[in-house]
Chain A
């Protein structure tokens, strides 16, 4: 064999190997913490499928899939309220074949709710994965009386208030003002009027705000450093700060914490649909789901995962939520088309105000 032919054979072998590998790749676009290394390698060992993870958030996920018209990934994990409007307009997902999902290991009521909330033309586009709430993270030593969304504009906490200036905050502020924004999802005019009212409230109270946090990291940073005492925040983040500083904890606001559910959704042009279903069923096995929850503190839609949860996780939840608080969680319904532009303009005006 000459050197040339050796190189040729080598090249062919590499090409074959890489094409064989390409067949068994599963590309997932998801949030940090939803696909821990431990589970990825266990899945790769079990199925021989090579998993590639891209970290993202709701907005970027949609933007990326929209740019490719639903190609480039085999599985995405958008929040349940962000699917229908996008699907109706851009057709970036394919309907879920629920017979391929092992629904026995999932909480039935949650599967049904997500199927309904992600429905387009009678077909469901999402399978529930994890859930959590947006509420408040409070430094109880400095602000023992902060109990509700309305404390985000309480003059008592001047200069010690922070929140993320995004759509959930507008919704939260509306609840804090005693309104129900979700009830107005069918009435664009009334919703606009409500958002105008919220905008005015937040502009008037802007001098009280220390700063607007922008990400999970800056949220933790601002309360941990002591720069703020009363902030809007995510339950899991609040509980993680509580571990290092017991004065700080997550609370469910009296007028209702906002509940979100993140799902599995399959992009329209996914190449490895079978692999995607395999991943969903693998991740939702009680033991595997418990691994994710123990590490991240997010609630899981896996039915029997509770058996494998650490005691700390249960304690966190029970400390922050009474039975009444749980009943009062406001779950995000699907966002109607066009509502996000109303909110975006209000958010811009609040941000630019003095």
Chain B
């Protein structure tokens, strides 16, 4: 066999493998470009600028001042604490309100009817948050539909102040995030074998015992993953606190927005953005520890 033929032979045997690799790389390139150019690089850029301040000569120098400002100025960390507390509260409310709904949809009514109700749950999501927020304004205002109705049937004489309060803000936040609790809880409940509940019932367990010792522990991964999504959505929301919230509803995202757009202090804004990321991740980590869940189990 000549040298040439030998070479050809090796080429032929290795070709399929090579071309497979090339296709794989080609397929990965767009994803990598997307990740690196649009997610990793901007974040790195923001991270760097969060550690810079302008000195008196207008040059950018390394400093921790942007992060220190957060802890030193009471108004900043207080706002964060308040935002986080509200987010936790809204998450708890979302669970209380949606768990019976999820249970009803998976265990009580037929699959066919359930599909229809799930569709009803999805519809508000299609119109977008801004539109639903304006919808709530029409409903809750002093001269809005609810007050008009209450006064017409004579329950109250003066309109109840509902809009621009914490109440209206929480309703707005709940409304836009509830669905993200329903879906994961439903998916875990669906795999719960009904015979477990029946067996417990046959052995004389009360409804509350069944709920506490079987249903809740079984659906915990779904509850925790729903809670993480709702918490993250609420703590990072801007519209509902801004439009529905009252005159004291300063949300942490609003402060970040103001840093970038009103005072043009991008460095401090970047630092606050990373603080939001780190602190809210910290809260989730604590919650996972506390509830004894693992992120990989919750994520699946």
Contacts and interface: CB of A to CB of B under 8 A. Distances in A.
Interface in B218-257: 242-243, 246-248, 250, 255
B285 interface: no
A224 to B, nearest CB: 10
A60 B260 CA distance: 9
Nearest to B245: A211
B250 A226 contact: no
Contact of A59 (B242, B246, B262): B262
A340 B262 contact: yes
A210 B144 CA distance: 15
Q: Chain A interface residue count: which class?
A: 20 to 34
Given A60-B261, A227-B143, A340-B264, A349 B75 contact: yes
Interface residues of B, number: 28
Nearest to A339: B263
A66 to B, nearest CB: 7
Given A214-B242, A214-B243, A227-B163, A352 B250 contact: yes
A344 to B, nearest CB: 4
A353 B74 CA distance: 12
A265 B58 CA distance: 24
Contact of A348 (B58, B250, B264): B250
Contacts, number: 67
Contacts of A167: 262
Contacts of B143: 225-227
Contacts of A307: none
Contacts of B144: 225
Nearest to B254: A351
B258 A344 contact: yes
A218 interface: yes
B78 interface: yes
A344 B137 CA distance: 27
Given A89-B58, A206-B247, A354-B248, A221 B137 contact: yes
A212 B247 contact: yes
B132 interface: no
A63 B264 contact: yes
Nearest to B137: A221
Interface string A336-350: 000011001101110
B169 to A, nearest CB: 11
A354 B246 CA distance: 11
A209 interface: yes
Interface in A305-351: 340-341, 344-345, 347-349, 351
Top 4 closest pairs, chain A to chain B, by CB: A211-B164, A59-B261, A344-B263, A351-B250
Interface of A: 59-60, 62-63, 66, 86, 89, 165-167, 206, 209-212, 214, 218, 221, 225-227, 340-341, 344-345, 347-349, 351-354
30 contacts: A59-B261, A59-B262, A62-B264, A63-B261, A63-B264, A86-B264, A166-B262, A206-B248, A210-B247, A211-B164, A211-B246, A211-B247, A214-B242, A214-B243, A226-B142, A226-B143, A227-B141, A227-B143, A227-B163, A227-B164, A340-B263, A340-B264, A341-B265, A347-B258, A348-B76, A348-B258, A349-B75, A352-B75, A352-B79, A353-B248
